[in-house]
Chain A
Amino acid sequence: MHEMSIAQSLLDIIKEEMAKNDAKVLRSVRLQIGQLTAIVPESLSFCFEVMTAGTDLEGAKLIMEIIPLVGHCENCKKEFPIENYAFECPFCRSTDIRTISGEELSIVEMEVE
């Protein structure tokens, strides 16, 4: 249940950005959550709701986009979806894989007024 910590960090960023942009109302926040992260979206939603209830941010929508795991083979230079968390190139069987997406835990956009 580390979603509570994540929600707290997220709120810190939101408040900082709102102050910077002189925004008063938060409509929505868009997040990218990589498939490899151990985040349960429903749980993060719940924590966010609980932590914003009764504050100026109450009612803001949390939009979560799950980013699939994609690898780049350093041997044959091909890109491929990493399925079942198998970090092996399906083309040349190399295990020298660089993860190019799927590890995100980012805030990407906020809609404010």
Chain B
Amino acid sequence: MKISVVKNILEANERIARENRVLFDEKGLTVMNLMSSPGAGKTTLLEKTIDALKDKLHLGVIEGDIQSSQDAERIANKGIPVVQINTGGACHLDGNMIRDTFGEFDFDNLDLLVVENVGNLVCPAEFKVGEDFKAMILSVTEGDDKPSKYPLMFHESSVLLVNKIDLLPYVDCSISKIKEEALKINPQLIIFEISCKTGEGLDNWFAWLEDFVQRRKASFSANA
């Protein structure tokens, strides 16, 4: 007997992500899902972003790693609320893991929650967690062929931060090729060229992010 099913295989996760999103919307909270391959600079970018915005916004962080709490300790040193998720082998965070952290945060006193996903350029792109937008980092040491090799990640992201541009003289990587290839896959992609080491380009990113969070808060207050 043949039975017709027609169901999204990830429907269970997407339902939880939608429920998370409803809660974030009620609180006027911006949620950013930050993704990249291991070592591209997610935690360092977060540290810099916290330093720049912590007097203007209330921030919280969820750290996703397969193992260890080193990243959460780095964030906790900045004096902001952080929860470490150890996936114990899983290569990505999902809606359920994010929901499990809700008891640890006071959402009424948060403006921006950053979900730092497990370092991986493939799997996290497939699993929604209830975010407003996905941001990804590509460091120039990874090479300019990555957009065409990992199209889903670039397609799903709203923001691309090209990091470690201070190393450009030492690596064979063309920023214009990265931009051209990434914009082909995602014409709406917003691109920042940054160096977390020298600070170059970071002010543009801070200003963009703060503006996004403030506009979201304002639209929430207007609707409340």
Contact = CB atoms under 8 A, between A and B. Distances in A.
A95 interface: yes
A106 B8 contact: yes
A88 B2 CA distance: 39
* Interface of B (DSSP majority class): mixed
Contact of A6 (B5, B9, B125): B9
* Interface of A (DSSP majority class): mixed
A50 to B, nearest CB: 14
Chain B's interface size range is 20 to 34
A107 B122 contact: no
Contacts, number: 96
Chain A's interface size range is 20 to 34
B151 A13 contact: no
B155 interface: yes
Interface of B: 1-13, 90-92, 94, 122-123, 125-127, 148, 150-153, 155, 184-188
Contacts of A36: 151-152, 155
B176 to A, nearest CB: 17
A38 B125 contact: yes
Interface string A74-108: 00000000001111100000010100000001111
